[in-house]
Structure 1
Amino acid sequence: NSSYANEKGEKMWKQTSEVTLDEFCGCGKRTIMVTSWTDNNPGRRYATCKGSKNGRVS
């Protein structure tokens, strides 16, 4: 696992294990399910794609 700061400066964790979903982002890439470990959303799961810069599916 590695940490990084998002655009708001919140510390986030990136998990090394990801679950690939059978859904596609607006950019055409497959989405993955990741877990947020921010102070505001600990343990929250959400879908994103590897091309996402803001952690959201477009």
Structure 2
Amino acid sequence: MSEIRHQPVAPTSTQSRAGGDVIDRHRHDDHQLIYVSSGVLAIRTEHGSWIAPNDRALWIPAHTW
């Protein structure tokens, strides 16, 4: 019988931000999936700029500036 191994659960967190908040340039060791529950999110990286309206998500690969 084969042994089934599950990957560890990905770390998760939630944050609420006020309109107009700016986060300094940074990067993460893990990929990020950012869900926009209300308002609009604008992201600028080394690869371009994206805007996500509410009820949408953005995928940011690990080590992205």
TM-score, normalised by the number of residues in structure 1 = 0.34
TM-score, normalised by the number of residues in structure 2 = 0.32
Instruction: Indicate the structure (1 or 2) with the bigger Cα radius of gyration.
Output: 2
> Which structure shows the bigger proportion of residues in strand conformation?
1
Which has the bigger relative contact order, CA under 8 A and spacing at least 6?
Answer: 2
